[in-house]
Chains A and B, each alone.
Chain A
Amino acid sequence: MTIINFSREKIFKDVEFRSIKQQIFRYSPLTSQLLGEQITPLVKAFLPFAHEEKLSFNWTLPMHFLRWFAQHKEWPLTQEMIQEWMVASLIRWSLTGFDHVRARVLFVATPRLPFQAIGLKKGQEVSDSDKIVVLKLANSYAAHQDRYATGDEVNAWEGLIWKPLPH
């Protein structure tokens, strides 16, 4: 075995950064297309905020990126972008089945889209793919902060207990 003369640490820093970028943008194709080459500087600008807020970088990361992005009024924020980042968080959640072994539904809501919650329903059969669903929220349920709710039953629309989105 010979010793390699280059810095693997530098390579891995790069790979880690690309992983964070993927976590935010992999499931948001329209937004990625719209932001194009701005994505890398945007993620770099987001990271100090993420560390200051002590974000856990779990499934909620795209939603927190949305919250940070929305603070910058100079950048365009469309309904499609909001929905895509919400869905990106849902998809990331669905990939961590052992963190919520009984949950079959997750909803997220944000003040950026106060009268809509977007949810992911897990399949009921082995060959069923997950489904994205949109829930209209009445005025009294409008989102005043980023929040989420899980359910054990696929059709548990009612009685969802909303909680603030964790960091």
Chain B
Amino acid sequence: MRNSTIITRLTVYGAISLAILTAACAVGFAFGSVPISPESLWLAVFDKSELPSVQKTILFELRWPRILLGMLIGASLAMAGTAFQGVLRNPLADPYIVGTSAGASLGATIAIVLHIPSPFPWLSPVAAFAFFGAVLSMLAVYKLSSIDNKLPVETFLLAGVVVGSFTGALVSFLMTMANEDLHRVIIWLMGSLGQTDLNLVKLVLPYFIVGGIWLYWLAPSLNIISMGDENAQSMGVEVEKLKVSAIAAASLITAATVAAGGLIGFLGLFIPHVTRMIVGPDHRVLIPIAAINGGAFLVLADTLARTAAAPKEIPVGVITALVGAPFFFWLLHKKRRL
């Protein structure tokens, strides 16, 4: 399989992953805190007009947007994680490594604590602040770590950790200062798709499409840079530009997803690894397959979050780590890498 052409691999793995994604969507559509009979589900898919309005509301206004957003966020985080792991050549890299998460949480916390009013009903101020917090922290990390227009990987990772700790401390400080909003901040920090509506989907979709195309465009260069900066340079890849470009694309996708769904951890770290174990390290195959797998995984995790302790919802960030970590460990063990 490894030596077959890229088209074959893309089709085969893509078909398998898409089948899993479809199954995940079906499961997410069928299960929720309100049980829906198989007949109603049949009607929902094939003859909407016959469906009672309550079930129509539940299925199409509540569940469907959540599934869509879950797919988008899962796919975006997986793509961003793949790009970061590729460009930084570090297996520990994840979409939040550049301090995106810390910046986003600072922005969101500020919006929650200061009760920033929303200028438009469709735009949550928390989402807007989270997005700009993420972008600003990313720029800060870039400025801190670039030396003579170069971006040494170690400095970049360190700068990400430094900015992350600093903004994390600010978030903790704000949380102690305003304890009546504490639960909102905590819920946001744990990540949840609970209040999803189609507006959020519309806000994330352009970033997903543009960022996805952008990252896929970089896939061949990411393959070359995996051989090391000097080697890639000698092969004509403009390494520094590539780094900046890939990091910018991945960070923007991450910022949009964080703004929409809060911090959903672990997914961006382990989906690229799992996918790499299956399809191999070629980014031209890895990026799209990881995106599909990430989408499927988050849809399933969100279904579990909705149903496991109904009527309460478990933050989906808890589920991703709770289910993902043992699975990742099992896979690592199976592959005899531990």
User: Do A and B bind?
Assistant: no
Residues of B within 8 A of A (CB): none
